[in-house]
Amino acid sequence: MDERILILAPRGRDAPVIAETLSSLGHRTLICQDLLALTEALRENAGAAILTEEALAQGASETLTTWLDAQPAWSDFPFIVLVTKQPGKRAQADAARLRAIGNIVMLERPINAETLVSAAASAVRARRRQYLTRDYLTDQVKAEEQLRFALEAGHLGSWDLDLDNRLLTLSPVAKAHFGRAADEVLSLADIEAAVHSDDIARRLEALGASVEQGLDYSVEYRVVWPDGSIHWLQVRGRPAPGTPRRISGVTLDVTERKAAETALLAMNETLEQRIGESVHELRRSNERLLNEIGEREQAQAALVQAQKMDAIGQLTGGIAHDFNNLLTAIVGNIDMIERRSDDERVKRMAANAREGVERATKLTAQLLAFSRSQQLDLQAVEVDALISGMDDLLTRTLGHTVEVRSDLRAGTARANADPNQLELAILNLAINARDAMGEGGTVTVSSRLADDWHEGLQPGHYVVIAVGDTGHGIPADLLQKVFNPFFTTKSVGKGTGLGLSQVYGIATQSGGTVLIDSTVGVGTTIEIWLPVSDAADRLRPSEIPAGETPLSQGERVLVVDDDPGVRRFIVQCLKSLGYLVTEASGGQAGLDRIAGDRPDLMVVDFAMPGVNGAQVAIQARLAQPSLAVLLVTGYADAQAIRDLVKSEAVLRKPFKVSDLALAVRRTLEEVSPAPV
C-alpha cells in the first residue's frame, strides 16, 4: 500500500518547500515536473497529491481526467489544490478543470505549514481507508468464488425465487438441469412448463407447504428438456425471513439415481434391502452437502459482520482519540480562564463553553466504549448493591409515567466491571426502554447468575443484568443493526445512536457480551453478561483533601506529547502550579532529555507516532528507575497499559487543571525513592 504524497508546483520553490515540510513529519513525497509525470506516478499508486492551481493550466489535464475516470469503484483519489484567492468568480475553464478532478480540497494561498500538513495527513488517511475497502471487496469476491466452486464441485445448481414478484434467478448449473444454455433467460413460467405433467401437483403441494408453513422446500420431480428427454431433479430450498418473501435453494440432477432405482426394483426381492440402504446413504450424502453449504453461508455472514464491527470500531476509536486531543486543549484553557478571570460575564461564557465540552466528552466516551479503545477501570462489583443504589436515579430519570421494578437474584456475587461505566450502561438501557414505551409502562431491572454458554463468551460463571420493557418491540430485520454506532430509530434530535453501541463496547471489553430478545407488540429485554470476579475490591485511599489543588514541592517535570496544543496546555498548567517544567515533542526526543533534565516525573502521551507512551515509560525507567510516570491518553491499548509498572498512573483526556494537579501529586507520592 503506497502512501507517497505527489507534489506538482511548477513555480518558484513551492514544490521543494512543500516536500521538505511533509518529509520532516515522516511523509514520503515525490515531486512531479508536469501533469503527465503526475499521472504516470498515479498509475504506480500513491496516498495523495498536492498541486497548485496554475499546474492545471499547463495542458495534458485530459490525461489526468482519463485516469480519474478509469478508477475502480473503491477508489476516489484525494487531491489538495493550492489556489490563489480570486476577487470574483473563476474563469469557466479554470472552474471546469477543478471540477473534473473530483475529490479535492482547495486551500487558499498563502497557507501556513500546519494547515497544509493537517490536510495532507487527512487525505492520506482517506486514501488508506479506500485501500482497506479494496481489500475487503477482494476478500468478498474470493469468498463468493469459493462458494461457487463448492456448488459446481457437487454438481449443484443454485436458485432464488421472489414469491411476490415471481422473479426467478438460476445459476448456469441450474439452467443445465433444465436442458438450457447458461446464457438463456428462464422465467418461472418456463420452469413450470418444463415440469412433467404427472409431477405438477406434487411440486405445487411441496411449494405451498413451504410458503404457507415456513417449512423447508424438498421435492423430486421430472422435467422435460427441449429435446424431449426426461430427467429427474431433486430440488431443495428454504424460505428466507423478512419481506419480500423469498425462497432460495439448490437443484441436483438425480436422473442416474432414479434409473438405478428403477433397475433395482426389477431385481429379485433379495436385493430390496441393499437398494434401500444405497438410496438412504445417497440421500444422507445430499443432506450433508446441503448442511455444509448452509454452514458455510452462516460462517461467511458472521465473518462479514465481525469485520464490519471491527472496521467501524477502529474508525470510531481513531476519531475519538483525535477529538479528545482537541477537547483537552479546549477544556484546559476554559479552566485557566475561569481561574484567572474575576469578570462574572467571562465566567458565565466560560461555563457555557464548559457545558458544550462536557457533552462532547460524553460523545467521545461513547465512541471509545463501542470501539473498545477506552481503558475501563475493572473491579469486583457487587451488582445487586449497585442496582439498588440506582433506585432513586432511575425513578427520577424515567419519570412518573413509568413503573420501575427490580428482581435482583445475584445476591452477593461480584462481576468484573467498571462500576461507573456499568451504571451508565444500565441507565442507557432504562432510558431506551422508557422511550420505546411511549406513553408509559413498566421497566424491569433484574439480575441472576448463569453458566450457559453463548457465542462470544468463555465457559464459566456470569452475572446477567437484564433491562426489560413493555414497549412496541424491535422488528426482526433491525435486530442485527441496533448495536451499530449512530443507528437509531428515534427522530432527529432525540438521540445520538450511540447508547446501545456503548453498552456493547463496555460489556465486551469487560469480558462479557450483550444479548437482545424482542417481540413486536410485546416488548424488549436486553441482557448484559459479565464474568463473575473472585477478586477483592482494591480501594485507593487519597491523602489529598477533596477540592484542593496540590502545588509543587520543587519537583522537576518532563512533558512529552506530539500534539503542540495539548503539550502547551500541560506545560502552562504545571508551571502555574510551581513545577520546574521541560518539554519534548515526541517519544525519542523525551528519552534523549532524561539524562540532562533528571526529572522527578515524566508526563507522557500514550498515542504518539514511532514510540508510544507505554514504550517510552518502560525505556525511561531503565535509564532512571526512580522516575515517576503519568500516562496521558485519549484512548489506550489496555494490555499495553497493564504492562506498565504502575498501571493506575493514567490520566484520561480531556482533563481540567485540578485533575492534572491531583494526578501529578498522587503519582509523585506513590513512587518510592530509588535505593542508595
Q: Is the pLDDT of residue 535 over 60?
A: no
> Which of the four pLDDT bands, split at 50, 70 and 90, describes residue 499?
low
CA atoms within 13 A on the CB side of 39: 19
Q: Grid coordinates in use for 291? A: 448442511
Tell me the residue type at 563.
D
Query: Which residues contact residue 365 at a Cβ distance below 8 angstroms, ignoring those fewer than 6 apart?
Result: 374, 502
pLDDT of 558: 95
Q: Which CATH architecture has domain 154-266?
A: 2-Layer Sandwich (3.30)
Q: Domain residues of the chain, as ranges?
A: 5-129, 154-266, 319-369, 379-531, 556-670
> Which of the four pLDDT bands, split at 50, 70 and 90, describes residue 93?
low
Say if CB 205 and CB 189 are below 8 A apart.
Answer: no
Each residue of 322-377: pLDDT tens digit?
Answer: 666 666 767 667 767 766 677 777 767 767 776 666 666 666 665 555 454 455 67
Identify which of 420, 383, 368 has the alpha carbon closest to the alpha carbon of residue 527. 383
Identify which of 128, 105, 120 has the alpha carbon closest to the alpha carbon of residue 3. 128
In terms of CATH, what superfamily is 556-670?
Response regulator (3.40.50.2300)
Task: For domain 379-531, give the CATH number.
Answer: 3.30.565.10
> Which of the four pLDDT bands, split at 50, 70 and 90, describes residue 6?
very high
Q: How many residues does the chain have?
A: 676
Q: Which residue has the higher pLDDT, 298 or 390?
A: 390
Q: Is the pLDDT of residue 96 over 60?
A: yes
Each residue of 200-238: pLDDT tens digit?
Answer: 999 999 988 888 888 889 999 999 999 999 999 999 998
> What are the backbone dihedrals phi and psi of residue 74, each rounded to the nearest 5 degrees, phi first?
-75, -15
Q: What is the mean pLDDT of residues 555-559?
A: 94
Q: Is the pLDDT of residue 667 over 80?
A: yes
pLDDT of 233: 92
CA atoms within 13 A on the CB side of 108: 3
Q: Which residue has the higher pLDDT, 497 or 669?
A: 669
pTM of the model: 0.35
Name the CATH code of domain 5-129 (choices 3.40.50.2000, 3.30.830.10, 3.30.70.920, 3.40.50.2300). Answer: 3.40.50.2300
Do the domains spanning 154-266 and 556-670 agree at the CATH topology level? no
